[in-house]
Amino acid sequence: MIKFIDTEEVLPIRKEVLRPGKLTLDECRFPTDKLPGAFHLGLYLRGELVSIASFHPQNYGVYTGEGLQLRGMATIEEYRGRGLGNQLLNFAIVYIRGQKVNYLWCNARKTALQFYLNMGFEQISPEFEVRGIGPHYVLYIKIS
C-alpha cells in the first residue's frame, strides 16, 4: 500500500538509509519539508514502512513551467531490488501528472543512477560531488 505520510514518518528511514550513523533523527529533516506544497509518499508492506520519497515545488535551470524536486528516495536495505522503489516513484509520477507540475528532477547519487534511468529519467548534468555523500548527477523527467 502506498500513501501520503508526514515528515515525522520519513525520518527513521532517512536516518538509517540516507545518513547512516551520521545524523540524529531531527537532523534528518530537510528545510524543504516545510515548503508549501511539499509532500511525502510511503510504501508499506504488511504494515511496515519500507520505502519513502519526498517532493517539494522547486524549479531547476532552464526548464519552463512548474518543477518539483524529489528528495530522500530510499528503500530499507532488506527490501531493495524488488521493484518497490519503482512502484513508489511510478505512483508519484501518476499523482503529479494530475497536478499542475511540468517536470520532476533530483540530485541523484551515482549509485542510484540506473534506478532513475530505468524509471525514464534523463541525466542533465555532469557528475558532481556532494561532500560527505559522493558523486551525483542531476536527473530530469518531463511530466506534462
Ligand X SMILES: CC(C)(COP(=O)(O)OP(=O)(O)OC[C@H]1O[C@@H](n2cnc3c(N)ncnc32)[C@H](O)[C@@H]1OP(=O)(O)O)[C@@H](O)C(=O)NCCC(=O)NCCS
Please give the residue ranges that form the binding site for ligand X (CB under 6 A).
17-18, 51, 73-75, 80-86, 108-109, 111-112, 114-115, 118
Q: Which CB atom, from 17 or from 41, has the smaller least distance to ligand X?
A: 17
CB of 3 to ligand X, least distance (A): 17
Measure the CA–CA gap between 42 and 6, rounded to whole angstroms.
Answer: 9
Q: Which residue is nearest to ligand X (CB)?
A: 85
Q: Where are the alpha helices (DSSP H) in 98-139?
A: 113-119
CB of 19 to ligand X, least distance (A): 10
Q: Which CB atom, from 63 or from 79, has the smaller least distance to ligand X?
A: 79
CB of 100 to ligand X, least distance (A): 25
| CA proximity to 3, closest of 56, 36, 40, 37 | 40
Q: How many CA atoms lie within 13 A of 47 on its CB side?
A: 0
